[in-house]
Structure 1
Amino acid sequence: MPEPRCPICGKPAAPREKGRKTAHPFCSERCRQVDLGRWLSETYTVPAVDPEDQEEGR
């Protein structure tokens, strides 16, 4: 199985440790915060369909 990689920088991801807070799936707390900042600034978005558009497409 391939080693998990940090989605921000591509370095090996921090391992999961039961009972401890880790940066997983990121390599560090810094990359974790970069990802959060991207969500909060709306750099990342989840695609959605407007319900009004769905009604017109019937």
Structure 2
Amino acid sequence: MTCPICQKETDPKYRPFCSKRCADVDLGRWLNGSYAIPAVEEDLPDEADTGHPTQRPN
């Protein structure tokens, strides 16, 4: 298995990465949103569409 950041051989101590540096690069990408998965939010029907009130949390 190779490091997903730099493609070097992995180190068991930092697996799946080869070093702390590459692990930190990956963490930084997660924290700044580089790995975000695009999603489409569905519109919930409101009262007028169904005739029934929508349940809302207290």
> Which category describes the TM-score, using the shorter chain as reference length?
0.5 to 0.7
Partners in 1 of 2:42 and 2:11 — Cα distance?
40
Q: Give the paired residue count.
A: 45
TM-score (norm 2): 0.64
Q: Give per-residue Cα distances to partners, 1:18-48, cap 9 Å, x unaligned.
A: xxxx210000000000000001011111343
Which among 8, 13, 20 is matched to residue 5 of structure 2? 8
Bigger relative CO (Cα 8 Å, ≥ 6 apart): 1
Instruction: Answer with 1 or 2: which has the greater Rg.
Output: 2
TM-score (norm 1): 0.64
Matches within 5 A, 1:43-54: 43-52=34-43
Partners in 1 of 2:38 and 2:10 — Cα distance?
27
Partners in 1 of 2:14 and 2:42 — Cα distance?
36
RMSD of aligned residue pairs (Cα, Å): 2.0
Report what 1:25 is aligned to. Answer: 16
Q: Which contiguous aligned blocks of 4+ residues in structure 1 show a shift greater than 3 angstroms? A: none
Which blocks of at least 5 consecutive residues in structure 2 are unaligned?
46-58
